[in-house]
Chains A and B, each alone.
Chain A
Amino acid sequence: MGILSILILVPILGAIVLALLPADNQLARRVSFGFAGVAFALSLAVLAQFKSNTFHLQLQERFVWVADLGIRYHVGVDGLSIWLVVLTTLLTLISLAYGFYVNVRTKSFLALILVLEAAMLGSFLSLDLISFFTFFEATLIPMWLLVNNWGGEKRNAAANKFLIYTFGGSIFMLVGMVAISAQMHHLVNVSDYDLVDLQNVAAAGTLWKGNLQLETWVFWAFAIAFLVKTPAFPFHTWIADTYAEAPIVGPILSSAMVKLGTFGLLRFVLPLFPEVVQTQAPILMGLAVVSILYGAIVAAVQTDLRRLLAYSSLSHMGFILLGIFSLSFTGIVGGSYQQINHGVTTSALFLLVGFLFVRRGTTEFSALGGLKSQMPVFAALFLLSMLASVGLPGTNGFVGEFMALLGTFESGYAGQFGLNAGYAAAAGVGVILAAAYLLYMFQQIFYGPNANPLNLRLKDLKPWEVSVVSLLVVLILWGGLYPSTFTKPMEASAQAARLMAINPVGSRPVWGDPSLEIDVEGSQPDRGALVKVDEKREIGQPIKALSVVAPSNIRFVLDHQVSTATASASE
């Protein structure tokens, strides 16, 4: 068993151990912290082993799960998932820290957080459609239980809405997955759900040959599942209720979980539906722009801090979508990077909101005001996190949103994929609106008269609280001042995802052929030339290009694929 499987198993093991422990809150907290800490350390170990100069999937593990159906357990990591894995383990630790404030059924609460962590890690690492779906759906149950049992007043309705929305979106993705597999069955007479195999055939143009209509349907089945999860307009209505009613760890963990939506688009949709992605990009870009503007406008009229942040989240997730479907190198790296940034910023803000909530018991603006002098440290940290959310230069939010907008402008200006510069211009308005509503929010909480007597008793943050938030603030500044730490490992994979979607048949990168590389370091990274390298090269060794490959020279591995698929089916 490799490191990735261990990484997924550690939190599950932690949850089982917690279930067996006696009901002692202090002990349960320590144990859960221990297991989450181990998971975090393992994710850093994965990061240390990770090679940035290849788009190929690393540390792969593959077992047959259900041979008759061609379902496997297949995990692996690449530039798109590596930082999300680290983000997930980090945010879990932070959520567990917040768990110090939960005294009702603490043990189950902590165990559920660990189960959720395992499910998210599994989703980010899965390379088989069905094992991805399994983990993807597995995130719903712990989240449902968290909201339903530890949430606010209207928790039942919010939890059900969350579950039914996400389940409803994803069930059609399941049908889509089976349709892809049936298509594969049609081609090579074996059911196969393995992303690497499927992408080979998709890149060769045979997966959807003569069946573009089916490709469009299946594309939308996938896209809608991920848009619900992201969420994007018009599939967003669950997010405000969930964020407002969930216990505070809900939004914190959710800020990693919603990345499953945008990550799913990068991981599955771009590689598998190359012909359709380009034609449907304007629709998705339109949804992204509407999400940005609509989220911002609705956020501006909220009277509750948590609801405002929920809509702000909708608006910011729009930028990620915008970057991805600009289908330009800058845009995809920006969108991919913004996933991490949004996770860090949102969880910092919600953590602070949580600290306020345990002190004050409400997050309504009408009950707050003038807290700046009352809680100066809290105000300072809140300001920094908020400015990152606004996208102030020097914070990580600026880099991500700027790159996403720049990418959109590049594609739009070139008139590619039916886009035009209008998308970038409209989305740019969203940045201004973000500044408007976030500053308004800050004003409502921290300025004005500190009139409410209940607020006069509020105490500033405790040292451990400051240290937890500071950790995130450091990441915010690091991401803003030295973004290449985070973007460098993403570049090869982002470029590959892009080329898989936009290149013509014959010059698309394939995961199935390790001798094929993208020349990221070359003179024109944006062109993303494919190079043929020494076949004996281990993944991650420096690329010595043998030749730049002309489209017709690429050997596609479909027939090789058939034999491996048959072999694994008969295992």
Chain B
Amino acid sequence: MHQAFQFPVPEIDFATIAPVVFVALAGIVALVTEMFGNGRDKRTTIWVSLIGLGIALVTCVYQLGLSEYTTFNKMVERDAFASGIHIVIILATALTILFSEGYMRDKRIAHGEFYPLILWSATGAMIMSSTESLLVMFVGLEILSISLYVLAGLSRAEEKSEESALKYFLLGGFASGFLLYGIAFVYGATGSLNLVYVNSALAHSHGSSTQLLLFGLGLMLIGLGFKLSLVPFHLWTPDVYQGAPTNVTAYMASVSKIAAFAALSRILIAYAAIHEMWIPALTAIGVLTMTYGNLVALRQTDVKRMLGYSSIANAGYLLVAVIARGAHPAETSTTTIVFYLLGYSLTTIGAFAVLTLATRNGSEGTKFSDLRGLYQRSPAAAIILTLLAASLMGFPGTAGFLGKLFIVKDGLQSGLTLLVVCLAVNSVISVYYYLGLVKAVFAAGDEASELRLSPLKGGVAVACAACAIGVLFVGIFAGPVLSVIGGAH
């Protein structure tokens, strides 16, 4: 008998992936305008990028109100978590683009390919964070990373930028290998690349496939741990952050972590059934990450390195929430992770944006001493940096405080007391080096600082103001923000 040819045509709903498509398209249009445009005037390219991101943002906010939906043969997942993460990614990308042009011009690396690359990188991050399929997750990660490898080396004349790109590329490639190997184990155990089947496999499995799945989890954890710069997979972070152009560093510290945390959270939720087995390992990683990041940050004299270590510590804080979410998906909500990432991105990008003010005539100052006199030169920038430091310390009234409060709440409700206490101790340690930053800014400057520091104007001013206002708004009017990122309940 002739059997009808059966090929499962996947259901395709382009509306679902609209935000991703818009961002990718914006990248293509930006590339074209850059090719045909005037070489020096980047305004069209910047506007194209921002408008593309704006449209994508509106789509995401609209999608937040919709109910959960899976399409593309279960390769794309649209839920409140995905949309919330998309919003944070888009905002972070837009803020980075805003302050980039002035900085790159001052540093004499105003290359037009920055804009398409950063948009495609954001596309990868968005793909990675809205899927339950491990293969798509991997593809997203690669799109994100390959663009970033190029961006890290954007300052071609500088040796440390090249070093940064090469280090990031080699270690990133290595990490991707781990991730892929882990995915292979999951495939071996479940016969599928989709995380949905992990859960049922764990429920009905015999010991052997649980072992396979656990081994797969361990390898995937290593792969994502590199991206998240969790201790002990963090060794690349300070060098890469220091060497890359500051705007790329800001982007790396925020967007690539956002995407990797979203992926990690989804993977851990799939493994919720055996959370007793992975909690000890992740607890150890969490404690190490927080403590190491903060202790080493204390000794830094370079602001970029300090912020790099601070981002390691922050990854440790957020890991607490991700563990709590993975262990008890029914009792926790995604808002903690999205809220913290939102506050953290605003704060970190703002801090890096203020730091770019110390760039003039192709040279860039990144030491604490290079920021001296900022208060006299541009009081607004100094006050904004103080506010952002307060948020990083976790003072009430800022986004950082509520973010930590959410994490502490989730942690305590999930019984992660050790991690919560560790978080509290580390918050105290971190105060010291953030105060150092504030102190440097308010210290009296000399005549050289007048020449060294740019005034706060143009895109940098908009980005800094947006970050500062955002940090305060999120910290004070948390109710509306939460109801937006909480999605349809």
Q: Please list the residues of chain A having a beta carbon within 8 angstroms of any beta carbon in chain B.
A: 64-69, 130, 133-134, 137-138, 140-141, 148-149, 156, 160, 163-164, 167-168, 171-172, 174-175, 178-179, 181-182, 185, 191
Chain A residues lying within 8 Å of B435, measured Cβ to Cβ, are 160, 163-164
Are A137 and B395 in contact (CB-based, < 8 A)? yes
Are A172 and B424 in contact (CB-based, < 8 A)? yes
Are B402 and A174 in contact (CB-based, < 8 A)? no
**9 contacting pairs across A/B (C-beta < 8 A):** A67-B479, A133-B396, A141-B390, A148-B439, A167-B428, A168-B431, A171-B428, A174-B424, A181-B409
Are B408 and A178 in contact (CB-based, < 8 A)? yes
Q: How far is the CA of A168 from the CA of B483 in the complex (A)?
A: 32
* Of the residues A66, A149, A160, A164, contact of B402 by C-beta under 8 Å: A66
Which chain B residues numbered 462 to 483 have a C-beta less than 8 Å away from chain A?
A: 478-479, 482-483
Taking the closest CB of chain B, its distance from the CB of A163, in whole angstroms, is 7
Are B420 and A156 in contact (CB-based, < 8 A)? no
Q: Is B335 an interface residue (CB 8 A)?
A: yes
* Of the residues B335, B397, B408, B431, contact of A134 by C-beta under 8 Å: B397
The chain A residue sitting closest to B411, CB to CB, is A178
Chain A residues lying within 8 Å of B486, measured Cβ to Cβ, are 68
Which chain B residues numbered 297 to 322 have a C-beta less than 8 Å away from chain A?
A: none
Q: How far is the CA of A167 from the CA of B404 in the complex (A)?
A: 14
Are A167 and B431 in contact (CB-based, < 8 A)? yes
Contacts A149-B442, A172-B424, A174-B424 given; does A164 touch B431 at CB 8 Å: yes
Are A178 and B393 in contact (CB-based, < 8 A)? no
Given contacts A67-B479, A175-B408, A178-B405, 6 further A-B contacts (CB under 8 A): A66-B402, A69-B478, A134-B396, A141-B395, A175-B412, A182-B412
Are A178 and B409 in contact (CB-based, < 8 A)? yes
Chain A residues lying within 8 Å of B482, measured Cβ to Cβ, are 66-68
Are B424 and A175 in contact (CB-based, < 8 A)? yes
Q: How far is the CA of A200 from the CA of B45 in the complex (A)?
A: 61
Q: Is B235 an interface residue (CB 8 A)?
A: no
7 tightest Cβ-Cβ pairs between the two chains A and B? A134-B396, A168-B428, A66-B478, A178-B408, A182-B412, A171-B424, A68-B482
Q: How far is the CA of A185 from the CA of B331 in the complex (A)?
A: 11
Q: Is B427 an interface residue (CB 8 A)?
A: yes
The chain B residue sitting closest to A175, CB to CB, is B424
Taking the closest CB of chain B, its distance from the CB of A247, in whole angstroms, is 16
Q: How far is the CA of A102 from the CA of B405 in the complex (A)?
A: 39
Chain B residues lying within 8 Å of A171, measured Cβ to Cβ, are 394, 424, 427-428
Are A178 and B412 in contact (CB-based, < 8 A)? yes
Task: Classify chain B's interface size.
Answer: 20 to 34
Q: How far is the CA of A250 from the CA of B371 in the complex (A)?
A: 28
Q: How far is the CA of A167 from the CA of B413 in the complex (A)?
A: 24
Chain A residues lying within 8 Å of B390, measured Cβ to Cβ, are 141
Chain A residues lying within 8 Å of B236, measured Cβ to Cβ, are none
Contacts A64-B479, A160-B435 given; does A175 touch B421 at CB 8 Å: yes
Taking the closest CB of chain A, its distance from the CB of B415, in whole angstroms, is 10
Are B396 and A175 in contact (CB-based, < 8 A)? no
Q: How far is the CA of A140 from the CA of B393 in the complex (A)?
A: 12
* Of the residues B405, B478, B483, contact of A174 by C-beta under 8 Å: B405
Chain A residues lying within 8 Å of B432, measured Cβ to Cβ, are 160, 164
Interface core residue of A141, A167, A171, A174 (most chain B CB under 10 Å): A171
Taking the closest CB of chain B, its distance from the CB of A183, in whole angstroms, is 9
Taking the closest CB of chain A, its distance from the CB of B84, in whole angstroms, is 14
Q: How far is the CA of A24 from the CA of B394 in the complex (A)?
A: 35
Taking the closest CB of chain B, its distance from the CB of A566, in whole angstroms, is 16
Q: Is B278 an interface residue (CB 8 A)?
A: no
Q: Is B215 an interface residue (CB 8 A)?
A: no
Are A164 and B396 in contact (CB-based, < 8 A)? no
Q: How far is the CA of A46 from the CA of B463 in the complex (A)?
A: 44
Q: Is B406 an interface residue (CB 8 A)?
A: yes
Taking the closest CB of chain B, its distance from the CB of A189, in whole angstroms, is 11
Q: How far is the CA of A178 from the CA of B401 in the complex (A)?
A: 13
Are A130 and B335 in contact (CB-based, < 8 A)? no
Which chain B residues numbered 370 to 412 have a C-beta less than 8 Å away from chain A?
A: 390, 393-397, 401-402, 405-406, 408-409, 412
Which chain B residues numbered 427 to 470 have a C-beta less than 8 Å away from chain A?
A: 427-428, 431-432, 435, 439, 442
Chain B residues lying within 8 Å of A134, measured Cβ to Cβ, are 396-397, 401
Taking the closest CB of chain B, its distance from the CB of A165, in whole angstroms, is 9
Q: How far is the CA of A168 from the CA of B390 in the complex (A)?
A: 14
Are A163 and B409 in contact (CB-based, < 8 A)? no
* Of the residues B393, B420, B421, B439, contact of A167 by C-beta under 8 Å: B393
Q: How far is the CA of A181 from the CA of B410 in the complex (A)?
A: 11
Chain A residues lying within 8 Å of B395, measured Cβ to Cβ, are 137-138, 140-141
* Of the residues B406, B409, B431, B479, contact of A65 by C-beta under 8 Å: B479
* Of the residues A137, A156, A164, A179, contact of B439 by C-beta under 8 Å: A156
Taking the closest CB of chain A, its distance from the CB of B479, in whole angstroms, is 5
The chain A residue sitting closest to B420, CB to CB, is A175
The chain A residue sitting closest to B408, CB to CB, is A178
Are A69 and B409 in contact (CB-based, < 8 A)? yes
Chain B residues lying within 8 Å of A185, measured Cβ to Cβ, are 413
The chain B residue sitting closest to A131, CB to CB, is B396
Q: How far is the CA of A503 from the CA of B479 in the complex (A)?
A: 39
Chain A residues lying within 8 Å of B393, measured Cβ to Cβ, are 167
Taking the closest CB of chain B, its distance from the CB of A187, in whole angstroms, is 13
Chain A residues lying within 8 Å of B421, measured Cβ to Cβ, are 175
Chain A residues lying within 8 Å of B479, measured Cβ to Cβ, are 64-68
Q: How far is the CA of A167 from the CA of B401 in the complex (A)?
A: 13
Chain B residues lying within 8 Å of A141, measured Cβ to Cβ, are 390, 395
The chain B residue sitting closest to A149, CB to CB, is B442
The chain B residue sitting closest to A137, CB to CB, is B396
* Of the residues A137, A138, A167, A174, contact of B408 by C-beta under 8 Å: A174
Are A138 and B397 in contact (CB-based, < 8 A)? yes
The chain A residue sitting closest to B423, CB to CB, is A175
Taking the closest CB of chain B, its distance from the CB of A113, in whole angstroms, is 18
Taking the closest CB of chain A, its distance from the CB of B232, in whole angstroms, is 27
Contacts A66-B478, A137-B396 given; does A163 touch B431 at CB 8 Å: yes
Chain B residues lying within 8 Å of A130, measured Cβ to Cβ, are 396, 405
Contacts A68-B482, A138-B397 given; does A191 touch B424 at CB 8 Å: no
* Of the residues A148, A149, A172, A182, contact of B413 by C-beta under 8 Å: A182
Chain A residues lying within 8 Å of B402, measured Cβ to Cβ, are 66, 69
Chain A residues lying within 8 Å of B420, measured Cβ to Cβ, are 175
Q: How far is the CA of A66 from the CA of B402 in the complex (A)?
A: 10
Taking the closest CB of chain B, its distance from the CB of A134, in whole angstroms, is 4
Are A191 and B431 in contact (CB-based, < 8 A)? no
Are A164 and B428 in contact (CB-based, < 8 A)? yes
Q: How far is the CA of A178 from the CA of B413 in the complex (A)?
A: 9
Taking the closest CB of chain A, its distance from the CB of B208, in whole angstroms, is 39
Q: How far is the CA of A2 from the CA of B349 in the complex (A)?
A: 39
Are A191 and B409 in contact (CB-based, < 8 A)? yes
Q: How far is the CA of A165 from the CA of B395 in the complex (A)?
A: 14
Are A69 and B396 in contact (CB-based, < 8 A)? no
Are A69 and B406 in contact (CB-based, < 8 A)? yes
Taking the closest CB of chain B, its distance from the CB of A107, in whole angstroms, is 12
Chain A residues lying within 8 Å of B405, measured Cβ to Cβ, are 69, 130, 174, 178
Chain B residues lying within 8 Å of A64, measured Cβ to Cβ, are 479
Q: How far is the CA of A63 from the CA of B155 in the complex (A)?
A: 52
Q: How far is the CA of A481 from the CA of B149 in the complex (A)?
A: 78
The chain A residue sitting closest to B443, CB to CB, is A156
* Of the residues B396, B412, B428, contact of A179 by C-beta under 8 Å: B412
The chain B residue sitting closest to A179, CB to CB, is B412
Chain A residues lying within 8 Å of B335, measured Cβ to Cβ, are 68
Are A138 and B396 in contact (CB-based, < 8 A)? yes
The chain B residue sitting closest to A133, CB to CB, is B396
Taking the closest CB of chain A, its distance from the CB of B266, in whole angstroms, is 22
Chain A residues lying within 8 Å of B412, measured Cβ to Cβ, are 175, 178-179, 182
Q: How far is the CA of A174 from the CA of B406 in the complex (A)?
A: 11
Q: How far is the CA of A17 from the CA of B74 in the complex (A)?
A: 57
Q: How far is the CA of A141 from the CA of B395 in the complex (A)?
A: 9
Taking the closest CB of chain A, its distance from the CB of B40, in whole angstroms, is 40
Taking the closest CB of chain B, its distance from the CB of A121, in whole angstroms, is 16
Q: How far is the CA of A175 from the CA of B486 in the complex (A)?
A: 24
